[in-house]
Structure 1
Amino acid sequence: MKLLEYLSVGMLACIIPGAQCGRTEVLVEAGSQAVLPCKNNDLRQTNPNILWTKDNCTVWRMEQSGLQYRGSRWSNKGKQRVQCPHFQFESGDYSLQINRVTEKDGGLYVCRVKQVVRSEIMLRIIRVSISPSVPTSGKNVSVTCGVTPRPDRVSVQWMLNNSPFVPQQGNHLNEDKSILIEKATVSSSGNWACVVKHHGQEGRASASLSVKGINQPFEDNTKLYAAVGSAATLPCVFSSGLTPLKSTWEKVKQGSRLTPAEVHLPSSLASSSPPTQLPWDKSATLNEVSLEHEGRYRCAGTIEGQRLTRTMQLVVAKIVLSHKESSVTLTCQLGDTSEVTKYEWVPVMYDHNGTESEGPVHEGKTVSLSRASEEKWSQWTCRFYGGQGLLGNVTYHIEQTSGLFGQESSGMPRNTAAIVGLSFLLFALLLILVQIYKNHQRRKRIFQYPALETIVHTVSNEREERERNRVKE
């Protein structure tokens, strides 16, 4: 009976001049605003009688007197969800606006002007739902695109972060166009959108998926770069508010293909987290990086009974110095150069106020320094870049070696003078020791004959006495 009524109304609409035939599809996202079109080509009508219905129930109505009426289910606590803008009436536009649409709003709407059907609109509501809403890394996640009312044949395309989604290993596209993500990871997070096409019309809806787990680093085998002698942080940051149990750090080496072997962990990484560090931040710090710190590391923590891990590789950078006849060559050396696409050398000098200024950039893995360069610039910094930009840098300070050029020629005179001065001092000291030894020996010989020493003193005293008496006479 209801089908017959719709057919008769449609046939009547096609017979009456100015009426519109056919049905229009409108697809909108749940929670947004829907605009259902209804236009009248006869502009001679003023204050027409307009009626919008859904399932033979009044949605919005305006009489010729200008009085407006709304269905009871279309207002909530005095807030009206439907309206028909008056400023468009003069142009014959009687489109209906529905705010904050829900799945219950989906269905067939009819617009009548003076009891003549002007348009039929099928409103379909699209909603993307995610279950569970906030999953933990390693759990299965279902992403569903719901269309209400759902047509028999509909085209659904999925987008992830505005890029077409292609199912891969671990992701399955079901018959109902929903997606099953097995063992979701943080990389599964993002904006999931489904684009629905039906009868030439298109609509889309989206939802944000946030997988709880290790947010930094974002993925396994992330490369971190640090210079020899600098401080470095190995990040291991879980989702905010997610405090892991039994968090650990391990340094691993490439053993068999399936099982990396654990090696000794640097003592600087074995210490506990500082009190100021957030409970979900399990990052480790190296106060001074050395070549022995290079390698692969793994942090782990238990969340909801499941062990989450993240691996990363620390690449150590250093500058190697080599001498030639008239120049010095600096080479930027990294333990792993697979991501490096470009090297740059930047000279830096400081004036008497400590102000820093940079010189011209030199490209290449090595740079040759002349005597003028060594005297002008205080340091040379090697910057290395990858596909995503700057990876890191390492700096060589010229003052570390006071004078790279002429060390042998300028150093020899200074060394010779020092040796000569030291030799003269030792010779003088030796002479003094010899003289002291001689005096000691002489006194020793005299003390061997005490009677003789008495006679000598007696004779000497008598001689002095005679001399004094002679002077008195």
Structure 2
Amino acid sequence: MFEFLVFGLISLSMTEGHHEVQEVFAESNSKVVLPCVCNTSSRVIIWRKDNQGTVWRQEKSGMQFWGSRWLQNGDRRVRCPYSRFERGDCSLHISNIREDDGGVFECRFISGGQSMTRSVMLRVIKVSVSSAAPVAGIEFSVHCGVTPEPVGASVQWRLNNSTFVSPSGENLKTAQWTIEETASVTLTGEWTCVVAHQGFEGRASASLTVKGIIHPPRDDARVYAAVGCAATLPCVFSPGSIPSKPSWRKLHPGSSTKPGRLPSSFSFSSPASKPAWDQSARVEDVGLEDEGRYTCAGVVGGQSLSRRMQLVIAKIDRGVSWMKMVTLTCQLTDTSEVMRYEWVHVTYDPSGTRLVKSIQEGKTLYMGKVNVEDVGEWVCRFHGKEGLLGNVTHRIAPQNGHLTGSTSSLYNTSFVLSLSVLLVLLVLILVQLYKKHQRRKKIFQFSALETILHVKVNERDKREESQVKK
């Protein structure tokens, strides 16, 4: 990787013999620019290194010359762009940096008959590993070298852009130029050494590939499978690492060494479509009895490698209460990684499009009485700290091959009919009561009339008797 590492320009004294030295870090095999601020009228410019000879120079006539060690296969490793002189930039550009390029460079130019000098310390950083591709379990080292080596510099190690923390838990020293570790696939990646000295900083990197089992990346990883489905037990070695004597075994419950019996549908022969470093196994028809710990193993580079994993079985228990209320409960043989459960209902429209509807969260789903809208797939998804772990499905098929209406709709229809009958009966009763009331009201009216007539007749009889007596 080539990149320019230029760390600012500092103001220097303009008198001969009195100047400061600034530092520039560069990674080995990269490109670097050594800064030099010169006078815009300068025509004579000379770059030298450690008083060992000329690196590059330009005469007043414009002629340019290169030192012999800066020519590589006919290509000039250094250049000083003429187009920048008018801006007072006489910086030296160096490509394909080598470790022995480190040291003090001097930029000398003549302005107004006066000679002036700028000094730059170039420190070359290189990261090297004792083995670019060690086998897991083998000791290896990563070294950070700086030429010339700075006194009192601080060093920080990074792995894949994150601060490196030793798997052993030991804290790294402030200036630990060499890291020694036991190889594991978790240490694969880009190792970067960051060096800081007197306010300047530089870095260099090297790649490390550890040969071993990359998937699962660690022991005791969980593999989730549903009852009745197929399960894949992963055992993938690093690309190009073809293991000899590959093997699988199931551990007896409660034992870390005693072998158990592999499932009857277990197979791990690699098909032609898989690369030789993929020794994953498969269980075609998973049952509850297949849960437990499995170990895959192989020999790479004379080193025995193995990975242990646990097969977790999931199923859904269906329960029906005395009120015919249906419950679905998500059951797993190991729930140590599960943080939450989610239930979704999966159906398909007439065109075959899959429709997913989230219902609720929780280990148990309370459905009530099953109706036609409940036909389809009920999926329990279980999630862990890093996301979805797996899922298990329970299917509800139409009753008697098909359903033309909802059971709840039938119940609703019966309820409406019953309510209608009751309303009719109530109306009839009210009508009868009303009629009875009216009859009684008429009776009261006629009784009053009869009384009045009776009084009138009595009064008339009394008058007639009075007239006869006279």
TM-score category, normalised to shorter length: 0.7 to 0.9
Q: What TM-score do you get using the length of structure 1 for normalisation?
A: 0.76
Q: Secondary structure at the match of 1:263?
A: coil
| Shift in Å, 1:74 | 1.3
- Call closer, same or farther: CA 1:20–1:391 in 2, change over 3 Å: farther
Q: Deviations over 1:260-299 (max 9, x none)?
A: 3221122333563334432221110111111111111000
Say if 1:39 and 1:118, in contact at 8 Å, map to a contact too. Answer: no
Q: Aligned partner of 2:92: which letter?
A: L
Indicate if the aligned counterparts of 2:15 and 2:116 stay in contact, CA closer than 8 A. no
Q: Aligned partners of 1:248 and 1:26: how far apart in 2? A: 54
Segments of structure 2 that go 5 or more residues without pairing to the other structure are 1-11, 408-470
In structure 1, how many angstroms separate the alpha carbons of the residues matched to 2:358 and 2:56? Answer: 73
Which residue matches 1:219? Answer: 218
- Contact 1:171–1:179 under 8 Å retained in 2: no
Match of 2:43 in 1: 48
TM-aligned CA deviation for residue 20 of structure 1? 7.2
Aligned partner of 1:102 in structure 2 is 98
The AA in structure 2 aligned to 1:367 is L
C-alpha distance in 2 between matches for 1:294 and 1:116: 83
* Contact 1:347 1:377 (C-alpha < 8 Å) held by counterparts: no
Which string of whole-angstrom CA distances, capped at 9 and with x for unpartnered residues, describes residues 410-435 of structure 1? xxxxxxxxxxxxxxxxxxxxxxxxxx
Indicate the larger mover: 137-146 or 276-285. 276-285
Indicate the larger mover: 368-377 or 224-233: 368-377
Structure 2 residue matching 1:375: 3-state secondary structure: helix
Counterpart mapping for 1:30-429 below 5 A: 30-40=28-38, 42-43=39-40, 45=41, 47-56=42-51, 57-114=53-110, 116-169=115-168, 177-182=177-182, 184-253=183-252, 255=254, 259-270=256-267, 272-324=269-321, 325-371=323-369, 374-399=372-397
CA RMSD of aligned residues (A): 2.5
| In 1, Cα distance between equivalents of 2:396 and 2:291 | 26
Aligned residues: 387
Deviations 1:344-399 (A, max 9, x none): 11112223333321224422222222446553441111111112111111111101
Q: Give the whole-Å Cα distance in 2 for the aligned partners of 1:400 and 1:244.
A: 51
1:24-44 deviation digits (Å, cap 9, x = unpaired) = 11111111111111113x44x
For the Cα contact (< 8 Å) 2:29–2:95, is it kept in 1? Answer: yes
Structure 2 residue matching 1:192: 3-state secondary structure? strand
Q: Which residue of 2 aligns with 1:414?
A: none
Letter in 2 for 1:393: N
- CA–CA distance in structure 2, aligned partners of residues 344 and 157 of structure 1: 44
String of CA shifts for 1:179-213, please: whole Å, max 9, x gaps: 1113x111121211110011111001111111001
Give the letter aligned to residue 33 of structure 2. Answer: V
In structure 1, C-alpha distance between the alignment counterparts of 2:172 and 2:356, rounded to whole Å: 55
- Distance between the aligned counterparts of 1:94 and 1:26, measured in 2? 16
Task: Tell me by how many angstroms 1:169 deviates.
Answer: 2.1
The aligned counterpart of 2:423 is: none
| Long gaps (5+) in structure 1 | 1-12, 407-473
CA distance in structure 2 between the aligned counterparts of 1:251 and 1:53, rounded to whole angstroms: 70
CA pair 275-268 structure 1, distance change in 2 beyond 3 A:
farther
The aligned amino acid for 1:225 is Y
Kept in 2, the 8 Å contact 1:249–1:270? The answer is no
CA contact (8 A) 2:234 2:279 kept: yes
Task: State whether residues 62 and 69 of structure 1, in contact with CA within 8 Å, keep that contact through their aligned partners in structure 2.
Answer: yes
Say whether the 8 Å CA contact 1:245–1:301 is kept in structure 2. Answer: yes
For residues 329-353 of structure 1, the C-alpha deviation after alignment (integer angstroms, 9 at most, x for no partner) is 1111111111112221111222333
Which residue identity does 2:84 align to in structure 1?
Answer: Q
Tell me the CA shift for residue 218 of structure 1.
1.0
Bigger helix fraction? 1
Structure 1 residue 322, shift from structure 2 partner: 1.0
Q: Per-residue CA shift, 1:202-253, capped at 9, x if unaligned?
A: 0011111110011111111111111111111101111222221211111114
8 A contact 2:327–2:368 mirrored in 1: no
> 1:196 and 1:400, CA in 2 relative to 1: closer, same or farther beyond 3 A?
farther
Deviations 1:426-472 (A, max 9, x none): xxxxxxxxxxxxxxxxxxxxxxxxxxxxxxxxxxxxxxxxxxxxxxx
Return closer, same or farther for 1:138/1:312 CA change in 2, 3 Å cut-off. same
